[in-house]
Structure 1
Amino acid sequence: MQHPEEQPLAGGNVSAGVVRAGDTVRRPAGPWTPAVHALLTHLHEVGFRAAPRPLGIDEQGRQRADAGDRLRIFADAYGLDEAERRRLVPLLGRRTRAMHDFLREQAALGTQPWATLWAEGHGDVWRSDAAYIEQRADQWEKALLAG
């Protein structure tokens, strides 16, 4: 059952069933959810506010996380000026592609845990995330320069 305030979200690496509900993002949970929540909780506890903060599981069994403006918070925290913010978006695309390449290379060498992550499809996720960033560079830049 979708709540009236829910707005379906598209794009990224998993879009089926992802919605924004108020100040939260909700997405289908899976076997990875406890590990993802543990990582995000740790990041939040050590003061890294550019990652979403997990808020548990909703009544429909979906992951809940805050929907803050994380990239802008990150840029603000580092005091990035307009020129640095404009350079950030292409950098994000390059770094995301570099992670894909790293996973591919480590998987080819049989290095764990990277080989397992590659076999589970994480390389595809990094590649699609890089494409998502690059295809929407104007939107990312606009968000970084807003406010």
Structure 2
Amino acid sequence: MTSSRILGTVLEEVPLAEGNVTGGVVRVGDTVRRPAGPWTPAVHALLAHLNDVGFPAAPRPLGLDERGREVLTFVPGTTVWPDRFAEVGPRARLEKVGRLIRDLHDAVAGFTPAPDARWHVVIPPEDDGRGEIIAHHDLAPWNLVVDGEAWTFIDWDGAGPGSRLWDLAYAAKAFVPLSADPALQRPDAAARLRVLADAYGLDEEQRRRLAPMLARRSRAMYELLATGTGPWARLWAKGHGEVWQADTAYIARHEADWLTALLA
């Protein structure tokens, strides 16, 4: 058993389910410990800002522990993906996702990073037209923890300069979802995309830019996996590249449907 000491008390470290990229994540009491990186100070400044302005859907940063790991408040609940995706199935729940993402983007709009801030953005964002913010870059069901009506986005390591639409395009792909897999594909995908866009509050110009961006955002993920470097090599070997390639083709093929729904 591995343990940590908090205020003189020795607590067991409980391994948490690892994501596709980050390993070594454990729970210690009411905290989570994760490997830190050069980007950790900037991410913690961002999370502190979100907590200061009252954004409820982000963990609170607690600095580093004696082993140099970052410490965050533990978020109770279960991730939506893969076993609780039905949580975002009903229209009202998908609307909640859209509003939560809009609230996040509005909250980070007032954040000014330190001049020497370092980030860990693995896919360079597109300029979506005057919409630059510090974005999450991985707003997806596997990073949404649900505990009743309390919803929290986790895994902020990849946060950094981005844009509202680039962040939303990725979220739309994951939460609608926009998938070539018959087991995940939905006949009401276009209508669900409209629900998400309405809940977020996109204007007509943003909707026109979002429709073609959906495939480009998906293609960017495929191209990252295709580099075959670091953790992406492991995901490529598991077939994730083929999935993103097929999804990109599906999304591009239906671009007119997405635009029609967004503008209806």
TM-score relative to the length of structure 1: 0.53
Change (3 A) 1:102 1:84: same
Shift of 1:88: 0.6
Cα distance in 2, alignment partners of residues 118 and 136 from structure 1: 25
Shift of 1:41: 7.4
Counterpart in 1 of 2:219?
97
Per chain length, whose mean CA-contact separation is higher, i.e. which structure has more relative contact order (CA < 8 Å, sep 6+)? 1
Q: How many residues align?
A: 99
Q: Residue 219 of structure 2 aligns to a residue in which SS?
A: helix
Segments of structure 2 that go 5 or more residues without pairing to the other structure are 1-79, 85-139, 154-170, 178-182
CA contact (8 A) 2:81 2:142 kept: no
The 5 Å alignment of 1:1-147 reads 36-37=82-83, 40=141, 43=144, 45=146, 46=151, 51=175, 69-105=191-227, 107=228, 109=229, 111-112=230-231, 114-146=232-264
Change (3 A) 1:70 1:101: same
For the aligned residue pairs, the C-alpha RMSD in angstroms reads 3.4
- Bigger Rg over Cα: 2
Shift of 1:44: 6.6
Which structure dedicates a bigger proportion of its chain to helix?
A: 1
Instruction: Spell out, residue by residue over 1:117-145, the C-alpha distance to the aligned partner (whole angstroms, 9 max, x if none).
Output: 11111111111111111111111111222
Shift of 1:85: 0.8
Cα distance in 2, alignment partners of residues 142 and 129 from structure 1: 19
Cα distance in 2, alignment partners of residues 92 and 47 from structure 1: 24
Change (3 A) 1:47 1:86: farther
Segments of structure 1 that go 5 or more residues without pairing to the other structure are 1-33, 54-61
Q: Post-superposition, which runs of at least 4 consecutive aligned residues in structure 1 deviate over 4 A?
A: 47-50
Instruction: Spell out, residue by residue over 1:15-44, the C-alpha distance to the aligned partner (whole angstroms, 9 max, x if none).
Output: xxxxxxxxxxxxxxxxxxx96226737627
Cα distance in 2, alignment partners of residues 92 and 72 from structure 1: 13
